[in-house]
Amino acid sequence: MKKILIIEDDAKIRRFLQLELEHEGYQIDLAENGEEGLSKVQKFYYDIILLDLMLPLISGEEVCKKIRGVSDVPIIVITAKDDIRNKVELLDMGADDYITKPFDIEELFARIRVSLRNKKDFKIKNTLIYDNLKIDLSSKTLYKDDDPISLTKTEYNLMEFFMINKEICVTREKVIEELWGFDYEGDGKIIDVYVNSLRKKIDDVTHKYIHTVRGFGYMLSKKEIL
């Protein structure tokens, strides 16, 4: 059974697509925003992703680019008619096809069938790369300039999360949820301990990588130290 991930913030559209595609025999997984969608792509295998462009938290464009950083899974972008852009731009950001709202469900079925026929066997890429930093997902090892950096399990999980969300500001709450779960009741300041530890291991005399966004959270972004 082919598995499809639907990343769509509109609950009615999400439910409609789920019911129609399940009726066609597909296994469906759902995400209501970009962060949730990216998390699922990291954890699970999908045959196709249906991606709405107008998403909260992280735009559909950014989600598409980040998925392309870790997977070659076919992506069909769903976009409003007044938001449709040149197909070349959609392809440049990693999409394989697009369909405009409102759409005929039979047309979507056809586009999915075409994508599945044209789909090549693919493997999840084993690396996350940002500038001169690289994470080998198989060995769970962080490299800087091809030199391995020793990390604790929590430091590694935090760094992987930052790499997936590179150049995006993530809230402290989201970091806590990602590392310790929804029901974590400990001191939230523990994040500062791990962030500072990572900084000591990856920063150098000329560049800083993990930045505090006052009143919000953190961002992985390489900046030169002046």
Give the pLDDT confidence score for residue 3 in this predicted structure. Answer: 92
- Is the domain of 61 the same as that of 155? no
Give, as one character, the DSSP assignment of residue 81. Answer: G
Given 73, 101, 118, the domain boundary residue is 118
Q: How far apart are the first and last CA of the chain?
A: 55
pLDDT along the chain (226 residues), means of 10: 92 95 95 90 88 88 87 87 64 83 88 79 65 87 93 92 83 81 70 92 90 88 73
- Is the domain of 102 the same as that of 31? yes
- Is the domain of 111 the same as that of 9? yes
Given 85, 118, 151, the domain boundary residue is 118
Give the pLDDT confidence score for residue 123 in this predicted structure. Answer: 46
- Is the domain of 153 the same as that of 113? no
Owner of token pair 């690289």: 134
- Is the domain of 61 the same as that of 134? no
Parent domain of 164: 127-224
DSSP string, 188-224: TTHHHHHHHHHHHHH--SSEEEEEEETTTEEEEEEEE
- Is the domain of 17 the same as that of 72? yes
CA neighbor of 51 nearest in space, from 71, 74, 69: 74
Give the pLDDT confidence score for residue 201 in this predicted structure. Answer: 94
Given 118, 135, 154, the domain boundary residue is 118
- Is the domain of 132 the same as that of 214? yes
Give the pLDDT confidence score for residue 81 in this predicted structure. Answer: 59
Residue 209 · residue 222 · CB < 8 Å: yes
Give the pLDDT confidence score for residue 125 in this predicted structure. Answer: 60
CATH of the domain at 201: 1.10.10.10
Give the pLDDT confidence score for residue 179 in this predicted structure. Answer: 78
Cβ neighbours for 212, distance < 8 A, ≥ 6 positions apart: 195, 218
Structural domain count of the chain: 2
User: Which residues make beta-bridge pairs with 219?
Assistant: 211
| Main-chain phi, psi angles of 171, to 5 degrees | -75, 155
- Is the domain of 114 the same as that of 132? no
